[in-house]
Structure 1
């Protein structure tokens, strides 16, 4: 089961809230207000709601139940939203509006992708914006479909050692050991409708991008 999380309105893919009207949505903080204003009623909303006014918060509360948290808490609003999505049984979570702002929050979002509690359950979490799609891949085999919206594909090692093989890519690899800090696997491309990724050791962040 798939759900979209909206955190804000930065760097959203063009027409997102018009093309995804039938999807399941979760509003994270200001994202709940943006969804309702777009005519989308989220399944639920979470956060401390410190990014909206009291009038805007009342507007949201008239339409859905919200789950407010104190602003002095141990997790970010995004972390709380993803945790509740997993608790509600969602296995694929697409996060929008989480890039283009504070770098500390963005780095925290990347850490959530690698959270063992989620990777062990094979929860797929993607950070998506107008130019990029970021996903964590653990040891295993994957078939990657070509997507003209995100032409370039990079694999960034987050553990050492990481050993990766790529087939049907512009630059194929066979059991290549990647060191932390390596840029060998930056800006690759698929040359077929799908490609094979085999990670025999380690973990990577897969970043799909366009110029």
Structure 2
């Protein structure tokens, strides 16, 4: 196959292709440090909010739509910061030491705990009033983890289990549409089966696999 011809402007002159410069190790380290600093700030805010809005607090029960949307936006920002952190720290040109930073600081676990799970539990305890917001957040988080599953294979096992857990939340709150519930039950089983194949010794996954099979 022939390479495409170089682009030509209206005057007939060949346009120069933009230069692509390889990122240096120092630049990668600086980028990861900068992202991490911003991430920690957003993470601290999420922790503060989730601690203040305990599942039984009156403040949580009285949240209006605008406040729920603001909380979703806050947690979306944290997930985006994590996404950027993983892409930078797992960059193909990253050194082994830089690649280990995500594991060293337990970034996948922190993302799940502070960026997703705590907020999901807050939403769950405010059902049915919070159902629309919970659906919005589940779809957003599922999309973000799905993107990480495609682009950051170093933590593939974690992403698979997270996707299974998110699908299980989605399945559990579906009361109106039996067909939708069955679809999400299948999604849950698929992710947990995949996780179980990769870690057959994990008893917790066997427990998860049994849950969708139980009658609702």
TM-score (norm 2): 0.31
- Specify the structure having the higher radius of gyration (Cα): 2
TM-score, normalised to structure 1, is 0.31
**Larger helix share, 1 or 2:** 2
Bigger relative contact order, structure 1 or 2, given CA contacts below 8 A and separation 6+? 1
Greater strand fraction, Structure 1 or Structure 2: 1
